[in-house]
Every structure is written in C-alpha cells, then in structure tokens.
C-alpha cells in the first residue's frame, strides 16, 4: 500500500487536517474499521481489562471463530494497538495485551460501548416505535 495517497502533511507544520476519515482514500479509514469492526471492538474491549491468551479471548468474545479472531488480532497488531508476546514455551503460551496506543483507543471505544449499553432501553423503545409505524 502506498502511504502517500493522502494530503501530505508538511513535517514542520501542525496541520490538523492531515488525516481525514471522511476522505475515501485516507488510511485512517482502515484503522477505524479495524478498531470499530465487529470483532475489533470486542477484542480491544476484552484486552482493556486483562492480558489474555488466544483461547481466553475466544471465550471472552462470545461467538468469534478462530479464523476471525486470528485475523482481527493480526490487523490490530499491525496497527500497533495490540502487542503479541510468544513465550516460546511448551505447551505454547502466547499473550496479547494492549499497547499504550491501544489503551487510549480502547478507552474511548469503551466509553462509546458503555453509553450504548446504558441506552439500550431507549434504543429498543425507538425500534418498537419504528416497527409499529412501518409494520412491513
């Protein structure tokens, strides 16, 4: 991938428009999708509580398949949000933890998740109203 596809920020200026998620070619979109994607969000959430091993994560993130968890972890590791530590022991023991960057991302993500969880009664009420008006 080419990383120069976006409005190139002059290194000696502080441009706050450097990365704009609203632009379709901005690399921040990919990272945002890793973070907010179906399994990315839950994985970051789980790791914000503890360092976890692969199968511990699988159990914590209810419903994720091996394939998706593996894929998700690779993407998050590549983005520098998750650190993978292979203890090289027998039996194998691999631990996943958040990097400092991952922690700050997870913090804001969890704030969003908790808000939504707390507002679910309102959301469900809205859904019922909507479905009632459009019974099709």
Q: How far is the CB of 94 from DNA (least distance, A)?
A: 3
CB-based contacts of 98: which residues, under 8 Å, 6+ apart?
44, 47, 48, 81, 82, 83, 106
Quick check: bond before 91 cis, omega within 30? yes
Which of the stretches 4-12, 15-23, 47-55, 104-112 binds DNA when contact is defined by CB under 7 A? 47-55
CB-based contacts of 64: which residues, under 8 Å, 6+ apart?
39, 42, 43, 57, 58, 72
- Mask for 48-67, x = binds DNA (CB under 7 A): -----xxxx------xxxxx
Quick check: 52 and 69 in contact, CB under 8 A? no
Q: How many CB atoms lie within 10 A of CB 64?
A: 20
- Mask for 68-97, x = binds DNA (CB under 7 A): x-x---x---------x-x----xxxx-x-
Selected from 61, 69, 73, 98, the binder of its own copies by CB under 8 A is 61
Which partner in DNA, its own copies, none is near 108 (CB below 5 to 8 A by kind)? Answer: its own copies
Q: Closest Cα partner for 108 from 81, 126, 85?
A: 81
Which partner in its own copies, DNA, none is near 80 (CB below 5 to 8 A by kind)? Answer: its own copies
Which residues bind to its own copies, rule: CB under 8 A?
3, 16, 18-24, 27-28, 31-33, 35-38, 41-42, 45-46, 60-63, 77-81, 101, 104-105, 108-109, 111-113, 115-120, 122-127, 129-131
């Amino acid at each position: 991938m080419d990383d120069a596809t976006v409005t190139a920020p002059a290194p000696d200026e502080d441009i706050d428009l450097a990365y704009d998620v609203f632009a379709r070619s901005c690399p921040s979109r990919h990272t945002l999708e890793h973070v907010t994607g179906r399994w990315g969000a839950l994985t970051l959430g789980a790791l914000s509580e503890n360092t976890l091993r692969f199968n511990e994560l699988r159990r914590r993130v209810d419903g994720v398949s091996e394939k998706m968890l593996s894929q998700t972890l690779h993407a998050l590791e590549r983005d520098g949000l998750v650190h993978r530590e292979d203890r090289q022991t027998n039996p194998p023991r691999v631990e996943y933890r958040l990097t400092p960057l991952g922690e700050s991302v997870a913090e804001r993500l969890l704030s969003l998740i908790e808000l939504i969880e707390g507002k679910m009664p309102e959301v469900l009420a809205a859904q019922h109203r909507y479905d009632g008006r459009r019974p099709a």
